[in-house]
C-alpha cells in the first residue's frame, strides 16, 4: 500500500511523497523546492529512492538535482522531454510501469500543457499524479500543445476509476471554482463542491488531492463534450 503526503511548496505548488508501507521505498513527485521536500522526507524516515517528474517547468523540477544528490535517488521522467529534464535514470513512455516498492504506476502521456507531459496512475492505490494537466475544477494552459491534445489527455483521465485521488501540481481550486460557477451556474454538484472548497481554504486546508468523481461531476474542462468546447472554455478562462 502507498502512503501519500501532500507537500506545499513555492507559492501555490504541490510536491507529493509516496511511501510503500511494506518496503519503505519512498518517492517524491515534482520536487521544486528543497527545504520543505527534505523536511517531508526526514519526517517519513529520511529515505528517498525515486524522483518522479511530470513535466519540465521550473516549478516542478527546480530542486531535482540537489535532492537527487543528497539522497542518491533515481530520477524518472518522460523520454520525449529527456533533452530538457535533469538526467533521467528511467526515461518512460505511454504504458510503461514505474514501481515504488510494491506499488505500480502506469505512465500516461498527457500532452497539452507541455508536449512531453506525463501522469503516473497508481490504479491499485487510487492515486493519479497529473501535474499541470488536470487541476481541481480546472486544467493547465495549452502552452505547447493544442486543444485537441488536451482534450485527448483529459479523456484518458475521465476513463479512470472515479475513486482516484487527483494529485495535481497547484492549489488553484478556489479561483478555478469562481470560473467554473460562471461557466456552469446550474450545476448543483459544482455549487456544493465550491462551497466545500471555500470552507477548506477558510480553514487553511489544501483542496488537493480531490476525487476524480467530483471532478467528473463538477470540472467544466473535464466535462467539455468536444475539442471546440474545451478550446472556448480555456479562452474564456484566460480572460476571466
Just list the catalytic residues: 55, 57, 59-60, 113, 132, 170
Q: How far is the CB of 175 from Zn ion (least distance, A)?
A: 16
C-alpha cell at 181: 460557477
Considering only 31, 169, 209, 220, the residue that binds Fe ion (CB under 5 A) is 169
- For residues 146, 150, 156, 158, the Cα torsion angle rounded to the nearest 10 degrees is -150
- The full DSSP string for 75-123 is EEEEGGGGGGSSPPSEEE-TT-EEEETTEEEEEEE--SSSTT-EEEEET
Among 6, 34, 36, 59, binds Fe ion (CB under 5 A): 59
- Taking the complex as a whole, the smallest distance from the CB of residue 76 to Zn ion amounts, in Å, to 17
30 binds Fe ion (CB under 5 A): no
What is the rounded distance in angstroms from the CA atom of residue 84 to the CA atom of residue 92? 14
Site for Zn ion in 38-77 (CB under 5 A): 57
Among 81, 132, 171, 215, binds Zn ion (CB under 5 A): 132
Please list, in sequence order, all residues whose beta carbon lies within 8 angstroms of the beta carbon of residue 31, skipping any fewer than 6 positions away.
Answer: 9, 15, 37, 51, 61, 63, 64, 67
CB of 32 to Fe ion, least distance (A): 8
96 binding Zn ion? (CB under 5 A): no
Interacting residue ranges for Fe ion, rule: CB under 5 A: 59, 132, 169
Interface with Zn ion (CB under 5 A): 57, 132
Amino acid at each position: 500500500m502507498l502512503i501519500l503526503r501532500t507537500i506545499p511548496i513555492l507559492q501555490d505548488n504541490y510536491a507529493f511523497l509516496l511511501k510503500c508501507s511494506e518496503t519503505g521505498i519512498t518517492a517524491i513527485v515534482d520536487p521544486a523546492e528543497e527545504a520543505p521536500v527534505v523536511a517531508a522526507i526526514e519526517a517519513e524516515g529520511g529515505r528517498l529512492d525515486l524522483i518522479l517528474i511530470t513535466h519540465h517547468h521550473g516549478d516542478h523540477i527546480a530542486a531535482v538535482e540537489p535532492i537527487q544528490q543528497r539522497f542518491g535517488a533515481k530520477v524518472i521522467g518522460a523520454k520525449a522531454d529527456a533533452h530538457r529534464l535533469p538526467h533521467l535514470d528511467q526515461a518512460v513512455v505511454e504504458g510503461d510501469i514505474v514501481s515504488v516498492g510494491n506499488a505500480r504506476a502506469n505512465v500516461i502521456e498527457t500532452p497539452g500543457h507541455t508536449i512531453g507531459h506525463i501522469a503516473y496512475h497508481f490504479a491499485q492505490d487510487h492515486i493519479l499524479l497529473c501535474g499541470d494537466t488536470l487541476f481541481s475544477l480546472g486544467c493547465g494552459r495549452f502552452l505547447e500543445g493544442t486543444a485537441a491534445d488536451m482534450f485527448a489527455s483529459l479523456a484518458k483521465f475521465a476513463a479512470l476509476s472515479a475513486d482516484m485521488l487527483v494529485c495535481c501540481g497547484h492549489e488553484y481550486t478556489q479561483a478555478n471554482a469562481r470560473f467554473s460557477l460562471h461557466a456552469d451556474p446550474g450545476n448543483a454538484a459544482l455549487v456544493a463542491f465550491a462551497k466545500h472548497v471555500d470552507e477548506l481554504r477558510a480553514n487553511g486546508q489544501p483542496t488537493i488531492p480531490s476525487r476524480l468523481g467530483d471532478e467528473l461531476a463538477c470540472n467544466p474542462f473535464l466535462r467539455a463534450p468536444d475539442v471546440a468546447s474545451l478550446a472556448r472554455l480555456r479562452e474564456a478562462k484566460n480572460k476571466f
